[in-house]
Structure 1
């Protein structure tokens, strides 16, 4: 009995089958008769996680938390109060006793990251400042006080951390930050550069997961920035429809078998030399229909970011009210010094289907330089795309 070729991580299949059978008695799907391989087990989703985690919460209590809903409907999960930090800390310790961490994740609205950082600091014996996100202006005003306090670690989304860094740089303050903890979205070169300039002695500590699964994989200053390592006692099956996660053992927030994540992942080598490396390739559901053509949001953004002078980009899509899979108009909003006409020209060069659309609908594809990209208020993340309602005037 073996794992599928290309899987990340390894687990004994008999152990997985026994684990799946136990989960079937607490809200998981039944194990098919004669199942012998991981692939024989059914794929699970948010409904199973909600049922299993609710059953556990009735016995031990929990935090009821929700996914961010950045690209889809929010998902509810009952997360145990321990938040799996003991298991996590066995492999990933960004904080130590004496650390003073600024927690720049947004609190409230059932988003997990702020509370996860509070629990991690408590478990690590660190001091935590539960501030929430700071604008660059807030950070500039607070930077001298944060320097006097002696903040040694900061935690937030790359977008929020870049705002903090810009304020610290503008204030000319020197914070003794040695640790940058990040998650929830990928870095851009511009954001990472700002954080590095503000905190030149800091190492970057990343983690990857979701509210439903909590932390799946981590990296640290030894790693390639975009490579993370799967935590032990888990296996990931890459799949174009979203990677499938299976884990065994105690101490996780939620036990899962073949839970479909929202992202596509691929195995990766890392400069640190450790195994079970992975890269997150993007959302599995980022395909959009556009006036008879189909494109991936990620592939369009990759082209836009390749244009000299573009530092960050976001798509503005307009479609029928409530339809987030079919667009009638595409607007690229970007930051940087590039000319909007150059960005549009590169899109039309790279995507023949866009040229065909433009021949019939000249307003359908445009680019505009922006002062700021749209954000998700709840999470401080910059979503890859935003949606608005299309009208006949957009023809």
Structure 2
């Protein structure tokens, strides 16, 4: 079941627009003739457009390998977005917690969003909790009433605000890049009880695809008009028609699996991100998905954030020999979290009966974050020769 307002005929017409001079548009007569675009094909189209209209280069990766560069429209698609999702207005002051530098696109995007909304932006980047008290007078003096950041970064900022007695009248929280879990939402609303949550979903190759507004479930997004999402197990296919998008797309395969949903707000074309395509692994003959384990972990009472460590055979990196869940929380003991996780997760219950030592849980002070984006890394891969510390899991 496809999601969206763009029909097959519209997508066919869009595909014909991007055919090179050596191709005959009459060769595309049916939707089934449309071969999904690769990232290289998308970038060829984006660079072609940039030669006439200009472009902005953004990057993903670069922490452990070469950066992946993407050419976006100079306005990053903000004018097309605003009729359907406008979290800011004239006079608002946005604190942008997304990391700056090295062409990281989120910083640019929220600066541009603020400008098009006639708001003021303070592009400070991530603030460590110990720095919040020092910056508090400056932020209060600026009149900050909106915050943009990854949910874990906004939650850490909110905790520091509460701990230091900082008074900020925040009415808008803009979030993206990772799930807005119930625990993160609770922490944010304890510090900013009047704040509405405005989320969006996209990728570095496409920027915003769908949006989430106050009144929506925080795990549901609404597809922007003139797009089509085709859910597939190999990754959803995204198509866009018309002008004004940050990047063109004709059946471009995303790295996420999605499924149609309904939302309490009653707006249509809703979907949920089920998980990454590449998050499936086998442990002792049992097939598991990292996303499923993490999704269930953060619903356990007392668990705020979670991260999965997968230990692999060095001779066969695809062979996972054990897993350990790290979580942050002040009081809940690891053995209780493990019992709940096993009970709630298909597959882990089987492993618990046959090879219980392959599944462990550990409470930690902090989870490992990307030094580039400050997002919590959902999965960490480790060498099985460096066994997990099972402290307190049973």
What TM-score, normalized to structure 1? 0.89
- In 2: Cα distance, 1:149 partner to 1:322 partner: 56
Deviation, structure 1 residue 355: 3.1
1:241 pairs with one of 234, 237, 240? 234
- Cα deviation code 1:275-295 (max 9, x no counterpart): 111111221221012243321
- Cα deviation code 1:44-78 (max 9, x no counterpart): 22121222222223333322212358999864211
- Work out whether 1:15 is the aligned partner of 2:34: no
- Cα deviation code 1:83-138 (max 9, x no counterpart): 11111112111111111111110011322100001111111111110100112222
Q: Could you tell me which residue of structure 2 aligns to residue 3 of structure 1?
A: none
Q: Could you tell me which residue of structure 1 aligns to residue 38 of structure 2?
A: 45
- Work out whether 1:284 is the aligned partner of 2:281: no
Q: Could you tell me which residue of structure 2 aligns to residue 365 of structure 1?
A: 359
SS at the partner of 2:4? coil
Gaps of 5+ in 1: 1-5
Q: Could you tell me which residue of structure 2 aligns to residue 125 of structure 1?
A: 118
SS at the partner of 2:107? helix
2:337 pairs with one of 335, 338, 343? 343
Aligned-residue CA RMSD (Å): 2.7
SS at the partner of 1:18? helix
Q: Could you tell me which residue of structure 1 aligns to residue 383 of structure 2?
A: 389
Gaps of 5+ in 2: 390-394
Between the two proteins, the alignment pairs up a number of residues equal to 385
- In 2: Cα distance, 1:48 partner to 1:264 partner: 21
Q: Could you tell me which residue of structure 2 aligns to residue 380 of structure 1?
A: 374
What TM-score, normalized to structure 2? 0.89
- Work out whether 1:269 is the aligned partner of 2:262: yes
- In 2: Cα distance, 1:164 partner to 1:171 partner: 11
1:301 pairs with one of 279, 287, 294? 294
Residues 314, 385 of structure 2: 8 Å contact kept: no
After superposition, the Cα gap between the structure-2 partners of 1:222 and 1:352, relative to the gap in structure 1 and judged at 3 Å, is closer
- In 2: Cα distance, 1:170 partner to 1:26 partner: 62
SS at the partner of 1:266? strand
Residues 104, 132 of structure 1: 8 Å contact kept: yes
After superposition, the Cα gap between the structure-2 partners of 1:204 and 1:393, relative to the gap in structure 1 and judged at 3 Å, is closer
- In 1: Cα distance, 2:387 partner to 2:378 partner: 25
